Amino acid sequence: MSQNVYQFIDVARIDPPKKPLKVRKIEFVEIYEPFTQQQASAQADRCLDCGNPYCEWKCPVHNYIPQWLKLANEGRIIEAVELSHQTNTLPEVCGRVCPQDRLCEGSCTLNDDFGAVTIGNVEKYITDKAFEMGWKPDMSQVEWTDKKVAIIGAGPAGLSCADILVRNGVKPVVFDRYPEIGGLLTFGIPSFKLEKEVMINRRKVFTEMGVEFRLNTEVGKDVSLAELVNDYDAVFLGVGTYQNMRAGLDNEDAPGVYDALPFLISNTYRVMGLESGPDYIDMKGKNVVVLGGGDTAMDCVRTSVRQGAKNVICAYRRDEANMPGSKREVKNAREEGVKFQFNLQPIGLELNDKGHISGVNMVKTALGEPDEAGRRRPQPVEGSEHVLPADAVVMAFGFQPHAMPWLSEFDVALDDWGRIKAPAQAEFAYQTTNPKIFAGGDAVRGSDLVVTAIDEGRKAADGILSYLEL
Ligand code: FAD
Ligand code: SF4
């Protein structure tokens, strides 16, 4: 590392430059330019190499951050990428989409006075650069066993489980109902945050490592769970949470009202040029109101902008400081022309004389006493009811576990919210109440983050290896 221990004073934190707004507003491509080698090296050099790195503890997969920052600073990319893969299956994805301000960068020692080290962007740089240089995981030392594991779901949890299993000589066969791997990385998160080529590249890399993918294959429809339980040594469930939450308003099923995920998925099919798929939901020329204040809401408003909506409003029932979405994405949405209206709660949906949505009945809110989670509850302000005109309304209130009737005969217990019970502290980590079946990711913890799904997939694979006595 450079000899200048005061690099963090001389060199300011920089984020990679963004594409010009006029391009951003019409294109479904990542908005950030990549770091140059010089920028990545200089930014990595800002790390103080703290004796007790908080960033590492706050990162859910406990990446060896100071160590790979040092290697990146020295241009030792292959060593850096090997090290980052010791703890993370998809570092190039986490570098792009983790809410770093709440995780690693949020706990960087330099944070308040000098600006945190740009950990996420260096992590992305290392992996992208290594792939560019032709790097592939080295499988030459793997001793193959005769064991095979069926993995249901090619999202980050399933892929991370497959990664650890295959590196330990166990054959993973991954089933997914979608035509491409990635789960929400491909079909939920839009390409202005994570381009589709990233997961397409990963599919090739995993396939070369020995992971087999059976895409366009839905368990419970195209193949039964009974077959998988019989034919494989263990099964991993990484099926996510796909039940859209609703507000319980009148007219929620009227034309012009959409759930967030079908809207984003239909757009992804269009962006990827996939032929068969859900009907495209088109916001061109429309007044769009998105209800909700999380990352999904930000993805919906920014997708609407790129589709050519006339006006896009994000309405949220608390104030800006209490929004759950990443501050970075709120800023990006604002720059792209999205208008935010805070302290507004929907109380009904207005229809025109053709029965189509024409507006959202809103009431203003004031923040009252804190709830169980410590967040102040929004209280309606009497007499503040009014209508926000809309040609299209998107409900982005989050997701709950979806029903899985195909699981019911297999003695896999669910909790009161429908999440699969698979404790980290079980005898074999992430084992369900059926000893042969393991689970992880959103299906177990409720909808959360890419990096927590990766963490659980990897730990469940360790549980499976112990269960298989390997
Ligand atoms: P998923 O990614 O949901 O993958 C589950 C997979 O299982 C899917 O591919 C599905 O097709 C498959 N499957 C389900 N049932 C079956 C079946 N019966 N047969 C075959 N296949 C099946 N997190 C972040 O960290 N940063 C972000 O910026 C971010 N943005 C988000 C934006 C949106 C719009 C959404 C919805 C989520 C976002 N998240 C973000 C959350 C993150 O994407 C999820 O927490 C993560 O993908 C969960 O991983 P998973 O593997 O558990 O499930
Ligand atoms: Fe930060 Fe996420 Fe990378 Fe961990 S995985 S270092 S939290 S960006």
* Percentage of the chain lying above the pLDDT 90 cut: 90
Contacts of residue 435, defined as CB under 8 A and 6 or more positions apart, other chains included, come to: 428, 467
* Percentage of the chain lying above the pLDDT 70 cut: 99
The verdict on residue 48 lying in a domain is: yes
For residue 277, is pLDDT > 50? yes
| pLDDT 10s digits, 296-307 | 999 999 999 999
The answer to whether 306 and 26 are in contact (CB under 8 A) is: yes
**163 and 72 within one domain:** no
List the structure tokens of 308. 């050519």
**280 and 425 within one domain:** no
The answer to whether 239 and 437 are in contact (CB under 8 A) is: no
Question: The domain spanning residue 57 has which CATH number?
Answer: 1.10.1060.10
Residue 295's Cα: distance from chain center in Å?
9
For residue 315, which phi and psi values (nearest 5 degrees)? -110, 125
Any idea which of 66-80, 119-133, 216-230, 367-381 has the lowest mean pLDDT?
Answer: 367-381
120: number of CA atoms within 13 Å, CB side? Answer: 23
**395 and 248 within one domain:** yes
Any idea which of 88-92, 118-122, 322-326, 424-428 has the lowest mean pLDDT?
Answer: 322-326
Taking the centre of ligand 2 as the mean of its atom positions, its distance from the CA of residue 67, in whole angstroms, is 14
The verdict on residue 138 lying in a domain is: no
Q: Identify which ligand lies nearest to the alpha carbon of 224.
A: 1
For residue 293, which phi and psi values (nearest 5 degrees)? -135, 20
Q: Residue 127 — pLDDT band, cuts 50, 70, 90?
A: very high
Compute the distance between CA of residue 455 and CA of residue 452 in angstroms, rounded to an integer.
Answer: 5
Predicted pLDDT of residue 325: 80
Pocket test for ligand 1, best of 239, 301, 420, 438 (most atoms within 8 A of CB): 239
Compute the distance between CA of residue 69 and CA of residue 122 in angstroms, rounded to an integer.
Answer: 7
**251 and 126 within one domain:** no
The verdict on residue 140 lying in a domain is: no
Q: Which residue has the higher pLDDT, 277 or 280?
A: 280
**461 and 320 within one domain:** no
**329 and 301 within one domain:** yes
Predicted pLDDT of residue 1: 47
Predicted pLDDT of residue 113: 84
Domain, as residue range, for 462: 148-241+401-467
**298 and 229 within one domain:** no
Predicted pLDDT of residue 2: 52
Any idea which of 155-159, 223-227, 368-372 has the lowest mean pLDDT?
Answer: 368-372
Outline where DSSP puts E strands in 191-275.
212-214, 234-237, 243-244, 257-259
Q: What is the DSSP string of 188-215?
A: TS-TTTS-HHHHHHHHHHHHHHT-EEE-
**380 and 260 within one domain:** yes
Q: Residue 3 — pLDDT band, cuts 50, 70, 90?
A: low
Compute the distance between CA of residue 298 and CA of residue 277 in angstroms, rounded to an integer.
Answer: 23
Q: Is 182 helix (H, G, I), strand (E, B) or coil?
A: coil
Atom 31 of ligand 1, nearest CA residue: 189
The verdict on residue 409 lying in a domain is: yes
| pLDDT 10s digits, 173-200 | 999 999 999 999 999 999 999 999 999 9
The verdict on residue 142 lying in a domain is: no
Q: Is 139 helix (H, G, I), strand (E, B) or coil?
A: coil
Pocket test for ligand 2, best of 104, 111, 160 (most atoms within 8 A of CB): 104
Give the containing element (helix H, strand E) for 438. Answer: strand 437-439
State the total domains in the chain: 3
Predicted pLDDT of residue 4: 65
In this structure, are strands 234-237 and 148-152 parallel, antiparallel, or unpaired? parallel
Residues with CB under 6 A from ligand 1: 97-98, 152-158, 175-178, 183-185, 188-189, 193, 218-220, 238-240, 261, 264, 295-296, 299, 441-443, 447-451, 453
pLDDT, mean of residues 36-59: 94
The verdict on residue 448 lying in a domain is: yes
**326 and 287 within one domain:** yes
Q: Identify which ligand lies nearest to the alpha carbon of 181.
A: 1
Of the candidates 399, 418, 444, which is a domain's last residue? 399
The verdict on residue 235 lying in a domain is: yes
Pocket test for ligand 2, best of 119, 126, 328 (most atoms within 8 A of CB): 119
Atom 7 of ligand 2, nearest CA residue: 59
Closest ligand 2 atom to residue 454 Cα is 5
Of the candidates 367, 399, 431, which is a domain's last residue? 399
Predicted pLDDT of residue 367: 86
Compute the distance between CA of residue 193 and CA of residue 394 in angstroms, rounded to an integer.
Answer: 20
Laid out side by side, the sheet with 339-341 consists of: 257-259, 392-395, 287-291, 311-315, 339-341
**395 and 249 within one domain:** yes
Between the CA of residue 49 and those of 3, 22, 52, 70, what are the distances in Å? 13, 40, 8, 8
The verdict on residue 423 lying in a domain is: yes
Q: How would you classify residue 431: left for phi > 0, otherwise alpha for psi between -120 and 50, otherwise beta? A: beta
**416 and 286 within one domain:** no
Taking the centre of ligand 1 as the mean of its atom positions, its distance from the CA of residue 231, in whole angstroms, is 26
pLDDT, mean of residues 82-94: 98
Q: Is 365 helix (H, G, I), strand (E, B) or coil?
A: strand
Mean pLDDT estimate for the chain: 95
Reported for 362-369, long-range contacts at CB under 8 A and 24+ positions apart, including other chains, are 362/315, 362/386, 362/387, 362/388, 365/317, 365/318, 367/318, 367/319, 367/322, 367/343
Taking the centre of ligand 2 as the mean of its atom positions, its distance from the CA of residue 120, in whole angstroms, is 6
